[in-house]
Amino acid sequence: MLLLIINMNVMIGAGIFVYPSIIASYAQSLGFLSFGLVFCIMLPLVLTIAQLAALYPAREGGLYVYSATALGRMAGIITASVYFIAKALSCSIMIRIFVVYLYVIIPALSSMIPVGLMRLMVIIFLFVLNLFGIYFGAYLQAVLIFFKILPIAAVIITGFFKFNFAHLTLFPASFGIFASSLPFAFYPMMGFETCCAIGHIIGDRQRIASTVLVSFFTVTCIYMLFQFFLFGVLGSDLIGSGAPLVSFFNAVFQSLARQEWLLLIGIGAVMISAISAAYGILYANSWYVVVIGREFQGPIGKFNFINRFGIPVWAVLLHALLIVLLLLLTDNIALLGRLSVFGVLLSYLITVVALLRLYKKRDAKLILPFWVALLSFASCAIMGFICIKDLF
């Protein structure tokens, strides 16, 4: 349960409250199918990660372990480094979103604290929270995930009664345009492998493997329903909406559209999702610094230091500093989202190659059929091609 909470908390980030409008701009009323198609495309990859999690001893930096064991030390370092940067990008997106909405709720802050300084304060706050250990974090995330699920459940339940079937007549102009929605559907679904990075704390490989599968399937179902009812109520008004949740509540409760609490519910849900996902990423992703540090002698090896709460303090600090640098990049969250997805896909691709290599070993205790592992290579290639096409 601990791993499932952490995994789902990382997956259910602010992306699901921000990217539905971008998904709708490409996929129109079929936006909910974007999540379903991503699930089908990425399922072989998810099965591959689950197979590797069950095969290898649970250690920190799971993707590193999988690649390094099958392909060598350098492949492991490249996998861990690319994944580390990609997830740091994702964390920077969460912090950007949190600060933007914080200024919407408290406009006076913009004249007192510059945006850059506020972002730095948020990172420092997350760094301090991360020093108190995984079990403190698990209790915190259990509370936060409740507040994230609550507005999603409200949209699904309320949308069932306010659904307008006339909105389902809007379709994308072509499959090519529809396909451009897939990276934005995949972005909120990333993180199903988070438990692999901290599996050493639990130690049960089978639990890690089942958590990967259960969390990916559960979150996909939630997202499909959420997108379906959002568009079913808002229709084309969802496109271009900077705050889909707020637009939804305003449309459903038109007589209360000016009530401040509606705004607070919508924005509060986004802020809680953003900050809790950033918290989870900062913790789990830092273990990749630890495993890379073990490969080197000298100062970088000091990142292996663990405090009495079981936290790699210097690794978390390095991660936080990298996020500070990434926050200096563009605030175009669509571009940053594509870059994050592309980076994660590259690390997945190396991991897939690692599994394919294992099929040559007769003593490898593999359950997954070879053709499924081969399909996982195609999964990464398809999503990667879409990202490159839209980036360039």
User: Does the model's pTM come out above 0.75?
Assistant: yes
Instruction: Note the pLDDT tens digit of each residue in 269-298.
Output: 778 878 887 887 887 788 788 777 776 655
**Closest of 165, 192, 245 to residue 43, by C-alpha:** 192
CA atoms of 85 and 102, how far apart (whole Å):
26
Query: Does the pLDDT of residue 299 top 70, yes or no?
Result: no
Q: What is the CA radius of gyration of the chain?
A: 21
DSSP string, 55-95: HS---BSHHHHHHHHHH-HHHHHHHHHHHHHHHHHHHHHHH
Considering only residues 299 and 8, tell me which one the structure prediction assigns the higher pLDDT.
8
> What's the chain's length in residues?
392
Query: What would the mean pLDDT of 43-67 be, rounded to a whole number?
Result: 76
Q: By percentage, how much of the chain surpasses pLDDT 90?
A: 11
Q: Average pLDDT, stretch 104-116?
A: 85
Token pair listed for 278: 């950033």
Instruction: Tell me which residue of 72, 4, 391, 60 sits closest to 217, measured CA to CA.
Output: 4
Instruction: Give the model's confidence band at 32: pLDDT under 50 very low, under 70 low, under 90 confident, else very high.
Output: very high
- Other Cβ atoms closer than 10 A to 210: 17
Q: Is it the case that residue 109 has pLDDT exceeding 70?
A: yes
Please choose, from the candidates 330, 239, 274, 257, the residue with its C-alpha nearest in 3D space to the C-alpha of residue 27: 239
Task: Report d(CA 223, CA 36) in Å as an integer.
Answer: 9
- Can you tell me the distance from the alpha carbon of 298 to that of 319, in angstroms, rounded to the nearest whole number? 19
DSSP structure class, residue 311: -
Q: How far apart are the first and last CA of the chain?
A: 41
Q: How far is CA 69 from CA 32, 64, 82, 154, 193, in A?
A: 38, 8, 17, 45, 18
275: domain CATH number is 1.20.1740.10
Domain count, the chain: 1
CB 295 within 8 A of CB 73: yes
Average pLDDT over residues 13-42: 88
Q: How far apart are CA 70 and CA 54, in angstroms?
A: 15
- The parent domain of residue 202 ranges over 2-391
What are the φ and ψ backbone dihedral angles of 198, each rounded to 5 degrees? -120, 20
| Mean pLDDT across 249-268 | 68
User: pLDDT (tens digit, 9 = 90+) per residue, 203-233?
Assistant: 555 666 777 788 888 889 999 999 999 999 9
Q: Which residue has the higher pLDDT, 96 or 389?
A: 96
| 117 or 314, which is more confident | 117
Contact 318, 301 (CB under 8 A): no
What percentage of the chain reaches a pLDDT higher than 70? 80
- Answer yes or no: is pLDDT of 141 > 90: no
